[in-house]
Amino acid sequence: MRRPHTQVLKSKLEEAVVSSQDQQIVALVLTRLKKAQRMRELQQQAAEAWEELKRSDQKVQMTLERERRRLLQQSQEQWQEKEQRKTLQSPEQRCRRRDSQRKNVPMGESRWKEQTEDQESPRQEKLEKARAQAEHRKQCQVRRLREQEKMLRNLREQHTLQLQRRLVEACRKRHLHAVEGQKKVQDTNLSSLINYQARKVLMDCQAKAEELLRQLSLEQSFQRSQEIHQGRMKERHRELREKAQKEEEQLQQARWRAGESEEQRKMRKRILVELADEKIRQARNHVHKTTRDKVQHLRELSHLREKNHHILKLKAEKEEKCHIEGIKEAIKKKEQRVRHITQGKDPNFQEFQKLPQASRREERASQSNQGSST
């Protein structure tokens, strides 16, 4: 009887936890959580793009700084070469010097100097050739420097355009984020209402589930208590039967000792059986009672126990009294018989005296046989 009721409680618990309306509310809450997760992902992507833009800007600045230092070093090297060339004399200066030397020195010395200058002419040609090569290298370096400057300008323009595009994208994402934030602010009341309803439904479901679990626990505990009580009642019934049987045996012994009549024995046995049946019937009625009158039933059971205890006490006192009275009566009869025998008033004893000796021996033998058979 209790198992179907337990299954019904479990099914009610499952229905309380899972219902269509609760599923819709939970789905709506999950949708809003997904939207919030998407917003966080977009914010993280915008932050990563901004960090990437900053890193790229730093790389371009470092590249420009390295190129500036290289160009500065090249310009310093060119300036040093120019200063070295200035130390060398030009051909016009050398001619003017030779003329001044010819005027100031004698004829022999002039010839010697001319020879010396003729010897130095190949050296001067080499110097002129080296100077021309240096000038050519200078022009190549200038041309290469201009090309590098042009390339740097192009790189700077590309980097500027890239920065502008990234800034525009960042501004667009910020604008989208601001718009979504405004929309989120507008949806705050709806979200709070949905969250409140979801929390309320979840709390109601939880309360309903707790109530059903509590009822289920009470049913199970009551079922266990009933099983325990049934076991105790069976044990009590068995003890009562054993006790009644033992009391019956004691009563039989007492009746045998006190010479109790058969009708009294049957009546006493019937009373004991009725008492035992009454106890069994009351115990069975107690098992089938519902939980609502459990307290009353416990009170009645306590009263019944007190009553049974009182009845058993009275019965024991009555049995003890009857036993004592029977013993007293037997003792009294025995004393009267002994007194009659001693006084010679017992008719059996008188007849016994009248019988011959042989008859007395036979009577004695028959009495001894009857005593052994009893």
Residues 20 and 109 both lie in one domain: yes
Residue 113, Cβ neighbours under 10 Å: how many? 14
The helix-helix angle for 294-343 and 262-287 (nearest 10°) equals 170
Among 187, 205, 183, residue whose Cα is nearest residue 28: 187
Residue 93 domain-assigned?
Answer: yes
Among 178, 187, 183, residue whose Cα is nearest residue 42: 178
Segments forming the whole domain that contains residue 120: 2-186
Residues 236 and 300 both lie in one domain: yes
Among 121, 102, 100, residue whose Cα is nearest residue 111: 102
Q: 237 and 247 in contact (C-beta within 8 Å)? A: no
Q: Which pLDDT tens digit goes with each residue over 81-128?
A: 777 776 665 556 556 656 665 555 444 455 555 555 555 666 667 667
Among 12, 6, 2, residue whose Cα is nearest residue 210: 12
Residues 30 and 123 both lie in one domain: yes
Residue 373 domain-assigned?
Answer: no
Residues 215 and 350 both lie in one domain: yes
Residue 372: exposure state from Cβ atoms within 10 A (0-12, 13-18, ≥19)? exposed
Q: Which pLDDT tens digit goes with each residue over 186-226?
A: 566 555 656 666 666 667 766 776 777 777 777 777 778 87
Residue 75 domain-assigned?
Answer: yes
Residues 320 and 225 both lie in one domain: yes
Residues 123 and 255 both lie in one domain: no
Residue 242, Cβ neighbours under 10 Å: how many? 10
Residue 361 domain-assigned?
Answer: no
Residue 139 domain-assigned?
Answer: yes
Residues 16 and 122 both lie in one domain: yes
Q: What is the pTM for the complete model shown?
A: 0.24
Place of tokens 């025998």: 341
Q: Which pLDDT tens digit goes with each residue over 127-179?
A: 677 777 767 776 776 777 777 777 777 777 776 677 677 767 766 777 777 67
- DSSP-derived secondary structure letter, 66: H
Q: Which pLDDT tens digit goes with each residue over 339-368?
A: 766 665 555 555 545 555 555 566 565 555
Residues 303 and 344 both lie in one domain: yes
Cα gap 247→317, rounded to integer Å: 12
Q: 287 and 226 in contact (C-beta within 8 Å)? A: yes
Residues 64 and 103 both lie in one domain: yes
Higher-pLDDT residue of 297, 73: 73
pLDDT category, 2, cuts 50, 70, 90? very low
Residue 371 domain-assigned?
Answer: no
Residue 365 domain-assigned?
Answer: no
Residue 38 domain-assigned?
Answer: yes
Q: 262 and 330 in contact (C-beta within 8 Å)? A: no
Would you give the end-to-end CA distance of the chain in angstroms?
57
pLDDT at 108: 47
* Least-confidence region, from 233-237, 279-283, 292-296: 292-296
Cα gap 141→68, rounded to integer Å: 15
Residues 126 and 219 both lie in one domain: no
Let me know the angle formed at the C-alpha of 189 by 183 and 194, rounded to the nearest 5 degrees.
110
Among 283, 288, 321, residue whose Cα is nearest residue 304: 283
For the chain, how many structural domains are there in total?
2
Residues 43 and 150 both lie in one domain: yes
Residues 277 and 163 both lie in one domain: no
